[in-house]
A and B are shown apart, each in its own frame.
Chain A
């Protein structure tokens, strides 16, 4: 093997690992000749529709960085770089183990056990607009302010089979067991800020599952997040749900394949035993009936403290009966096409597309084209590039096979750079890392 090839392999292995096969599309399995055991697949995705460069700026002096609220940063520069809703979303998928086998009638069965977590936060632009420019644009709608996190396990059964030698169909049905969930969201969060009045209209929920601990309630009926009781039953489900994956593969002629699938179509009925609602209006029209004698620091501080208590009475969540809520899980739709070069079938050209949307998080799409090298039984190398919701994207993937073991990995990212030594993306970005190990039954 030439030196340049070895260097390329070393770089790919160190940065991205390798990618073996599409494990997402259940219909892919139908073409496997034998079964497999997959252990410990880990996939991490992080998506942010604004990057650190929207909040941090190199100072003109070239020394320290400054924040978007620094006097040297104009309103247009700071606010122009923000989205209407600025969100950060992370998702971790961990497949503990999978087992796949082929039955006598050519059907392929899989049983999978895994755990998934996702969490995110979104902040509307208005929050930064108030801080940067002031109250001139009042009123504000802050109802997009939200934070959530979910942890759930899944047990999946999959079945796929070929229809003729050019077509396969597959599906997975997943039993979802919700472990823990938190969701803070607002139906209404309106803020009026002018010289006549500051007015807050709030109708928001906080929902926490109580698998582990029970949140206390104070004498006034508010949730007391500092008071937790019960030893908890870590791992005991607090929600149940169903989801399914559906896919197909079409290989109309030698060297070409088309794979299309939808993942995670379904959701979980969560039981939020720790539920609270913040609801009400509060209007501040100044400190009323203030006498001249009260115009001193102590009196004013006391009055302001009273006001703070009144605002808290609206903002603090009041405990309500536990509630059952349905929450969908992150859905994605994918399509991939591959064509092996007739003059060298180890080399393929690929095209893929992805669309995913999850609740309030900004929908994300991307389309890529790429090349891949396949040496069956030895290695697979692939690279791709394209365009997505946030601009240019690229990815590498590959796998190494030794005896019956195959280690695989893939890495997809956008461009725009990162903060040195930290890795925080400077621009809007979608990054995915996936690694796993599979034992092929031969």
Chain B
């Protein structure tokens, strides 16, 4: 080989290398624009959702209107049965005329008093509710310029239950309980009971009013002031028994177009903060998908290919002391990928709270889904980006 031939060979080899194009990379054949992002996992903070209130729960359970006919909300939002009444009322002038010697202090006997607190609490027990805390108080009004006192005995009984007689739930004597001057209502006795049977009847016996001397002169209304005795009853309501029926809870029209993204598994985590003193259990979650029959008619059916696990249980809390329940829910396609989701169908159970905590049910209590976060594993596919 001559020198010139060698030079020719080297030059040609180099120039071939320079102009070498790779047919495998010929873009004129087109580029497939399907992409799958986040193939390992992508996590996203979703946020906080709430409040989920008892009224929503009760309405879903069909108990909202029933409860409203028996109970009311107090100023703090608690559901209560409340009753009050006047037991004794007499003007000072009339009392003074019955006292032989008005210049001396006198112990004035008053006839026994009784009352019925009604059957609202009993009626509630039929639908699973009961008083969790009952408070009964005797109150008095003193129109005089001097303090007076009252003695007597209070007995509270339950309602007879079939063949069982009424049970004494509270019996308390009080001696010279003071009633302040100034024509304001003052509480002279208070009885509280947590749990147990409902108060039904009460009776005041051996009532004596300890009155000062010169009664009329100490009535700033000139004898037209009234000495009064009354009662006040308040029962806070709680769920006593698990509600027998599961509540169907359908989230329709979600229309989540997940099918196109070919998601295989999504995980949702949250910390549920619940003040509501009931335990919420989601017994099952079914995914609803749209399906067309051969005539093109569309219907919504449950999708068996997608599972939601595990069971969801939100522990009971109380006002100001919420229970925090971590939840970890996985939505997984058993085969293939998660389809377009039309909605979700939940079966929700409401269970009575356990333990000795505050079980009062209030409309200001709430469930919050805090720190909701989602993680999608296996990637998200997008066609034709």
Question: What residues of chain A have their CB less than 8 Å away from a CB belonging to chain B?
Answer: 2, 4-5, 7-8, 11-12, 15, 52-53, 56, 58-59, 63-67, 69-71, 75, 130-136, 193-198, 284-292, 295, 347, 371, 373, 383, 385, 394, 396, 411, 413, 415, 417-422, 426
A195-B374, A396-B15 in contact; A134/B41 too (CB < 8 A)? yes
A135-B52 Cα distance, complex, nearest whole Å: 31
Please judge, given known A-B contacts A418-B21, A419-B25, A426-B25, whether A290 and B48 are in contact too, CB under 8 Å. Answer: yes
- B260 CB, nearest partner CB in chain A, Å: 14
Instruction: Check if B45 sits within 8 Å of A285, measured CB to CB.
Output: yes
B244 at the interface (CB under 8 A from A): no
Task: Judge if B346 is at the interface, Cβ distance under 8 Å.
Answer: no
Assess whether A286 is in contact with B47, with CB atoms less than 8 Å apart. Answer: yes
Chain A neighbourhood of B33, CB < 8 A? 67
Q: Given A52, A69, A290, A295, which contacts B37 in the complex, CB threshold below 8 Å? A: A69
> Chain B residues with Cβ under 8 A from A421's Cβ?
21, 26-28
If A70-B35, A418-B20 are given as contacts, then 20 extra A-B residue pairs at C-beta distance below 8 Å, sorted by A number, are A8-B11, A52-B25, A56-B25, A63-B30, A65-B30, A71-B381, A131-B38, A132-B39, A133-B38, A196-B45, A196-B373, A286-B371, A287-B48, A290-B50, A371-B10, A373-B7, A394-B17, A396-B11, A413-B18, A426-B25
Q: Does B15 contact A291, Cβ atoms closer than 8 Å?
A: no
Map CB proximity to A onto B357-385 as digits: 1 under 8 Å, 0 otherwise: 00000000000000111110001010000
Q: Does B49 lie within 8 Å of A290, measured CB to CB?
A: yes
**Shortest Cβ distance from B7 into chain A, in angstroms?**
6
- Decide: A58 and B24 in contact? CB cutoff 8 A: yes
Q: What is the bound-complex CA distance between A420 and B7, given in angstroms?
A: 28
28 A-B contacts (beta carbon < 8 Å)? A2-B4, A5-B4, A8-B4, A53-B22, A58-B25, A64-B29, A66-B32, A71-B34, A71-B35, A71-B39, A130-B38, A131-B37, A136-B41, A193-B43, A195-B43, A285-B371, A286-B48, A288-B48, A290-B48, A290-B49, A291-B51, A373-B7, A385-B14, A396-B15, A415-B17, A419-B22, A420-B28, A426-B25
B8 at the binding interface (Cβ < 8 Å): yes
Known: A71-B381, A134-B42. A59 touches B21 (CB 8 A): no
What is the bound-complex CA distance between A4 and B46, given in angstroms?
A: 73
In this assembly, does B12 line the interface, its C-beta being within 8 Å of a C-beta of chain A? yes
Q: How far is the CA of A198 from the CA of B43 in the complex (A)?
A: 9
Q: Which residues of B contact A373 (CB under 8 A)?
A: 7
Q: Is the C-beta of B126 less than 8 angstroms from some C-beta in chain A?
A: no
Interface centre among B25, B31, B49 (most CB of A within 10 A): B25
| A-B pairs, 8 with minimum CB distance | A286-B47, A287-B47, A134-B38, A195-B43, A195-B373, A69-B35, A286-B45, A134-B42
With A71-B34, A284-B45: A7-B8 Cβ-Cβ less than 8 Å: yes
Chain A residue contacts of B161, Cβ below 8 A: none
A288-B47 contact in complex given A134-B40, A196-B373, C-beta closer than 8 Å: yes
CB < 8 Å: which of A56, A195, A413, A420 contacts B44?
A195
List residues of chain B with CB within 8 A of the CB of A193: 43
Which residue in A5, A7, A59, A371 is a CB contact (below 8 Å) of B32?
Answer: A59
Residue of B nearest to A392 (CB): B17
* Cα separation A385 to B14 with both chains bound (whole Å): 9
For the complex, what is the distance from the CA of A195 to the CA of B47, rounded to whole Å?
A: 10
B19 within 8 A of A: yes
Q: How far is the CA of A341 from the CA of B14 in the complex (A)?
A: 23
Inter-chain contact B40/A136, CB cutoff 8 Å = yes
Contact surface of B with A, Cβ cutoff 8 Å: 3-5, 7-8, 10-12, 14-15, 17-52, 56, 269, 371-375, 379, 381
A383 to B: closest C-beta gap in Å? 6
Q: Which of A4, A195, A371 has the most CB of B within 10 A?
A: A195
Determine the distance from Cα of A5 to Cα of B33 in the docked complex, in whole angstroms. Answer: 49
Shortest distance from the beta carbon of B29 to any chain A beta carbon, whole Å: 6
Q: How far is the CB of A182 from chain B (nearest CB, A)?
A: 28
- Are A417 and B30 in contact, CB atoms less than 8 angstroms apart? no
- A423 (CB) vs chain B CBs: closest residue: B21
Please state if B14 and A422 are interface contacts (CB–CB under 8 Å).
no
Please, how many angstroms separate the alpha-carbon atoms of A399 and B23 in the complex?
Answer: 33
Q: Is the interface of B mostly helix, strand, loop or mixed?
A: mixed
Q: Is the CB of B23 within 8 A of A420?
A: yes
Measured between beta carbons, the chain A residues less than 8 angstroms from B23 are 420
Cβ–Cβ contact A65 & B27, under 8 A: yes
Which chain B positions have C-beta within 8 A of A418? Answer: 20-22
Distance to closest chain B CB from A192 (angstroms): 11
Task: With A56-B25, A415-B17, A420-B25 as known contacts, state yes or no: A4 contacts B39, CB within 8 Å.
Answer: no
Whether the pair B50, A291 counts as a contact (CB closer than 8 A) is: yes
Are A295 and B49 also in contact (CB < 8 A) when A59-B32, A194-B43 are?
yes
State whether A287 touches B46 (Cβ < 8 A): yes
What residues of chain A lie closer than 8 Å to B21, measured between beta carbons?
Answer: 417-421
How many Å from the CB of B227 to the closest CB on chain A?
Answer: 52
Q: In the complex, how many angstroms separate the beta carbon of A237 from the nearest chain B beta carbon?
A: 39
Contact in complex: B35, A67 (CB < 8 Å): yes
Return chain A residues, CB-CB under 8 Å to B41.
134-136
A193 to B376, CA, bound (A): 13
Task: Let me know if A383 and B31 touch, CB within 8 A.
Answer: no
Once A134-B42, A195-B45 are accepted as A-B contacts, the answer to whether A65 and B37 lie under 8 Å apart by CB is no
Is the Cβ of B49 less than 8 Å from the Cβ of A8? no
Evaluate contact between B48 and A4: CB separation under 8 angstroms: no
Specify which chain A residues have a CB less than 8 angstroms from the CB of B56 in the assembled complex. Answer: 292
Are B15 and A419 in touch, CB under 8 angstroms? no
A320 to B352, CA, bound (A): 63
Q: Are B29's CB and A65's CB within 8 A?
A: yes
Q: Are B28 and A67 in contact (CB under 8 A)?
A: no
A56 engages B27 (CB within 8 Å): yes
Residue of A nearest to B44 (CB): A195
Which one, A194, A287, A291, A396, contacts B14 given CB within 8 A? A396
Which chain B residue shows the least CB distance to A417?
A: B22
Given contacts A420-B23, A422-B27, whether A11 and B379 have CB atoms under 8 Å apart is: no
B50–A65 CB distance below 8 A: no
Q: Min CB distance, B59 to chain A, in Å?
A: 13
Q: Is the CB of B43 within 8 A of A135?
A: yes
- Chain B residues positioned under 8 Å from A347 (CB to CB): 3
